[in-house]
């Protein structure tokens, strides 16, 4: 026996059968509880899928700089495209204006060319008319410049003949039947009533009796230019109008005396 066995507090408690059984039951129960918990945990782990977490890369200073540069480049490209579009539009507008200017310049050049051509034709007509006057005047120097005016004569016949020729062509030196110059038409008209007039305008202005332009009668011969040097003739038909073989562009026409006043007039009927 231990020397402390007689001390009550140092004695080991005796294990009874019932306490031993209870201990064993507790240990067993704890083991089973542990196994149950482990099993439940394993089942739960087996039933739930494992979720993986992706870690995003950290935005470093270099990457941020690259992103900023890319944005700047995109903005600059857009600005360049816009500038190019504006330049293209401006170029198209300039081309359109240049085309319009060219068309206008061409139109003006054609008008100028036409005016020059008309001036050239007019000058040629004047030159040819002057040459004709000179030739006819020289040929008529041996003929009388005084018309023999009959006691009778029908002015109406003269006017009717002249009106029948309206629309005929003007051809310098021509004397009918479908083309005339100014003096040949007047000569042919008065020949219808037996009045034989000289062939050229200068001489026709010298025949008959001088008449004031304020006292004209139908059938009077009108002349333009000086008396004895007239360059054109026609016949007064009344109402402030006269009939003549005007020029190549007009032919034989009726015109207003107010638009081209005569220099003088003579009466042969």
Q: Among 119, 142, 165, identify where a domain stops.
A: 142
129 and 170 part of one domain: no
- The helix, strand and coil proportions of the chain, stated in percent and rounded to the nearest 5, come to 55, 10, 35
- Mean pLDDT in residue range 158-181: 96
Q: Are 191 and 250 in contact (CB under 8 A)?
A: no
In a domain, 61, yes or no: no
Task: Give the residue carrying structure tokens 């700089």.
Answer: 65
Q: Which pLDDT band, with edges at 50, 70 and 90, does 137 fall under?
A: very low
Report field, pTM of the whole predicted structure over 0.75: no
- Asked if 99 and 189 sit in the same domain, the reply is no
Q: Is 153 left (phi over 0), alpha (psi -120 to 50) or beta?
A: left
For residues 180 and 203, membership in a common domain is answered with: yes
In a domain, 1, yes or no: no
Which of the pair, 74 or 23, is modelled with greater confidence? 74
Query: Distance between terminal CA atoms of the chain?
Result: 201
Assign 3-class secondary structure to 204-264: HCCCCEEECHHHCCCCCEEEECCCCCCCEEEEEEECCEEEEECCCCCCEEEEEHHHCCCCE
Rounded distance between C-alpha atoms, residue 134 and residue 127, angstroms: 11
Same domain, 189 and 131: no
- 182 and 127 in a single domain? The answer is no
For residue 87, being part of any structural domain is answered with: yes
Please check whether residue 192 is in contact with residue 161, taking contact to mean a CB–CB distance below 8 angstroms: yes
**The pLDDT of residue 139:** 44
- Count of other CB atoms within 10 angstroms of residue 234: 29
Q: Are residues 137 and 192 located together in one domain of the fold?
A: no
**Which pLDDT score is estimated for 127?**
64
Among 26-40, 65-79, 177-191, the range scoring the smallest mean pLDDT is 26-40
The verdict on residue 71 lying in a domain is no
d(CA 206, CA 219): 16
Say how far residue 39 (Cα) sits from the centre of its chain: 97
Structural domain tally of the chain? Answer: 2
Per-residue buried b or exposed e for 235-245, using 16+ beta carbons within 10 Å of the residue's own CB? bbbeeeebbbb
Residues 6 or more apart whose CB falls under 8 angstroms from that of 51 comprise: none
92, 111, 142 - which closes a domain: 142
Among candidate residues 115, 142, 169, the one where a domain is terminated: 142
Q: What is the CATH number of the domain that holds 253?
A: 3.90.1720.10
Do 176 and 246 lie in one domain? The reply is yes
Residue 40 has pLDDT above 80, yes or no: no
Is-contact 266 246, C-beta < 8 A? no
Q: Over the stretch 49-107, which tens digit does the pLDDT of each residue have?
A: 555 555 555 556 677 777 778 888 888 888 888 888 888 888 888 888 888 888 888 88
* 127 and 166 co-located in one domain: no
Separation between Cα atoms, residue 144 and residue 142, nearest integer Å: 7
Would you say residue 109 lies in a domain? yes
Q: Does residue 107 fall inside a structural domain? A: yes
Q: Are residues 257 and 223 in the same domain?
A: yes
- Over residues 112-116, the mean pLDDT reads 81
Domain identity same for 167 and 195? yes
Q: Note whether residue 50 is domain-resident.
A: no
Q: Does one domain contain both 132 and 159?
A: no
- Does some domain include residue 22? no
186 with 123, same domain: the answer is no
Q: Containing domain of residue 161, as a range?
A: 155-267
Percentage of residues of the chain with pLDDT beyond 90: 43
* Residue 19 predicted with pLDDT over 70: no
Q: DSSP string spanning 117-146? A: HHHHHHHHHHHHHHHHHHHHHHHTTTS-SS
pLDDT range class, residue 46, cuts 50, 70, 90: very low
């Amino acid at each position: 026996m231990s020397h402390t066995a007689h001390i009550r507090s140092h004695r080991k408690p005796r294990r009874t059968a019932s306490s031993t059984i209870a201990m064993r039951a507790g240990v067993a129960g704890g083991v089973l509880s542990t196994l149950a918990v482990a099993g439940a945990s394993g089942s739960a782990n087996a039933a739930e899928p494992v979720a993986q977490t992706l870690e995003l890369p950290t935005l470093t200073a270099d990457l941020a700089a690259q992103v900023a540069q890319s944005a700047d480049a995109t903005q600059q490209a857009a600005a360049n495209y816009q500038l190019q579009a504006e330049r293209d539009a401006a170029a198209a507008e300039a081309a359109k204006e240049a085309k319009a200017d060219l068309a206008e310049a061409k139109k003006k050049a054609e008008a100028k060319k036409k005016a020059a051509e008309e001036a050239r034709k007019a000058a040629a007509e004047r030159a040819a008319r002057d040459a004709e006057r000179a030739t006819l005047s020289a040929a008529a120097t041996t003929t009388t410049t005084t018309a023999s005016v009959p006691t009778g004569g029908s002015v109406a016949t003269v006017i009717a003949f002249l009106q029948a020729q309206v629309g005929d062509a003007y051809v310098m030196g021509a004397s009918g039947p479908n083309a005339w110059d100014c003096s040949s038409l007047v000569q042919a008209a008065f020949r219808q009533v037996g009045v034989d007039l000289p062939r050229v305008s200068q001489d026709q202005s010298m025949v008959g009796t001088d008449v004031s332009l304020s006292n004209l009668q139908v059938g009077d011969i009108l002349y333009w230019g000086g008396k004895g040097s007239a360059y054109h003739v026609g016949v007064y038909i009344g109402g402030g109008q006269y009939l003549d073989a005007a020029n190549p562009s007009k032919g034989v026409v009726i015109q207003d005396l107010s638009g081209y006043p005569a220099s003088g007039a003579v009466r042969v009927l």
